[in-house]
Amino acid sequence: MTLLHTRGLTAHYGDFQALFGVDLDLQEGECIAIIGANGAGKTTTLRSISGVLRNRPEAVVFDGEKIGHLPAADIMGRGLVMVPEGRRLFPSLSVEENLSIGTYGRKVSGYWNFDTVTALFPILRERRKSPATALSGGQQQMVAIGRALMSNPRVLLCDEISLGLAPVVIRDIYAAMPQIRESGASVVIVEQDISQALKVADRVYCLMEGRVTLTGRPTELNRDAIHAAYFGVSA
């Protein structure tokens, strides 16, 4: 069943058009990856889905409901939760408080809570009283993912969770992905690291200059096709 789809998604920053009709489909339980060069429109796509940028109602459909026009807080309330680019932790909140903000003002039930999140990322339990921004980059990324998980999302939108992190740290973070998917969340990841994306995703969308230039399963895509879709020239 299609859990989430976008149809003709557009986005503007002032006069500048960043997206030109992006169509995405996410099946229940699936993990899709959006890849593309810097400035391709990946973050803008996630912002449009999560309500930071508004659209026509029918441009984003979640669980059969048109949500393109809804404000971010309402979309989050429906279970589409973002791990934003650059982590965006709240500096005046401790690690524990950052995690708990994901449950503010709503009754949440499901697999994820403080205990299960800190079992997934044990270092967060140790450091739970520290200000979130006192942690290392990798640990901060764990907080950002944990904060989103605390609300028991139906769709987790991850924007470049490997950005700026050392390979071993990236490995640790992606090691959490199977358990996140087992908990029932469908996942959209945005990655510049193509090999990482091909490893975890069921399907891949390649974005270039605000348009989808290639889609398919990792096994169906060859390097040359991805290269062409990524940079707009053949290798």
Q: Report d(CA 156, CA 172) in Å as an integer.
A: 18
Footprint on residues 155-174 left by ligand ADP (CB under 6 A): none
Please, which residue, 69 or 211, has the CB nearer to other proteins?
Answer: 69
Backbone φ and ψ for 233, nearest 5 degrees, come out as -135, 155
Query: Using only C-alpha atoms, what is the Rg of the chain?
Result: 17
Give helix then strand counts, H and E, for the chain: 10, 10
Please, which residue, 60 or 208, has the CB nearer to other proteins?
Answer: 60
Footprint on residues 41-70 left by Mg ion (CB under 5 A): 42-43
Q: For the chain, how many residues are written?
A: 235
Footprint on residues 8-67 left by ligand ADP (CB under 6 A): 13, 16, 18, 36, 38-44
- With CB under 6 A, what is the number of residues at the site for ligand ADP? 11
Q: Residue 138: name its binding partner from ligand ADP, Mg ion, other proteins, none (Cβ under 5 to 8 Å by kind).
A: none
CB within 8 A of 109, min separation 6: which ones? 152
Alpha carbon 18 to its chain's center: 18
Q: Report d(CA 34, CA 157) in Å as an integer.
A: 10
Q: Which residues bind other proteins (CB under 8 A)?
A: 50-52, 71-73, 76-77, 81-82, 84, 88, 90-93, 97, 100-102, 104-106, 147, 151
The mark string for 94-113 relative to Mg ion (x by CB under 5 A, - otherwise) is --------------------
Least distance to ligand ADP from the beta carbon of 68, Å? 17
Strand partners, 189: 33, 158
> Which residue's entry shows tokens 């009283």?
129
Residues engaged in binding Mg ion (CB under 5 A): 42-43, 85
Residues interacting with ligand ADP, by CB under 6 A? 13, 16, 18, 36, 38-44
